Structure 1
């Protein structure tokens, strides 16, 4: 009986240590498209409209798997660039789907509608 109880305690200890190791969840998609927008001279109202337009267009995309729209976090480190106004991260299943998204009408319409609002744009693409 002592051996059984001791075995149970050891097993519970091992299991609890295994489940306490939490790994971050990977984002969906093998292709990440990161776009930084600078909107120099734009009003807060214009920025709010831009954000809504961006959310609407990404939700309409047939190719986007996941998305994140954000603003600078204000982290105070020399290696962090907080100079942009919006960050858009969109993930795709593959580079092929990203390339299709680039020609997708909803994406082209968004660019046409908002191109006068941003003064600078920087894009970073990566594959898994």
Structure 2
């Protein structure tokens, strides 16, 4: 009986983190991607129920087709430091393929309509846009 030799290559298993959003897998931040970060400060008299309803704003924006990814959240309970500002109520993080797409988003009817519908909730909005270079 002739013996056969097999070359065994090591297997590399890539595990998907349990927190990963399957719809966003493979959407790395490539050069020219625009990261749109928006912090919202809501009015003091907004109830907890209204705060939960406010996230409808983000869900309406999700319908805009030029958006690559959209996530939102609340301030993390990180350690207090001079450089940390946790005074906002919500943060929206949206990515776009390029400047052309964020320009479409800025004047998109869904975006403008959602602002009109939800702007009575906030006292302050701060936008920080970044172009990924590497």
Alignment of 1:75-94 (within 5 A): 75-78=78-81, 79-94=83-98
Q: Under a length normalisation based on structure 1, what TM-score does the superposition of the two structures give?
A: 0.76
Q: Which runs of 5+ in 2 are unaligned?
A: 1-7, 14-25
Residue number in structure 2 paired with 1:120: 124
Which has a greater percent of helix?
Answer: 1
Q: Which runs of 5+ in 1 are unaligned?
A: 1-7, 20-24
- Once superposed, what is the RMSD of the aligned Cα atoms? 2.3
**Which stretches of structure 1, 4 residues or more, deviate above 6 A after TM superposition?**
none
Alignment of 1:35-46 (within 5 A): 35-41=38-44, 42-46=46-50
Deviations 1:8-40 (A, max 9, x none): 9xx96xx98xx9xxxxx8347700100000003
Please state how far the C-alpha of 1:95 moved relative to its aligned partner.
0.7
Residue number in structure 2 paired with 1:33: 36
Larger Rg over CA atoms = 1
Please state how far the C-alpha of 1:66 moved relative to its aligned partner.
0.2
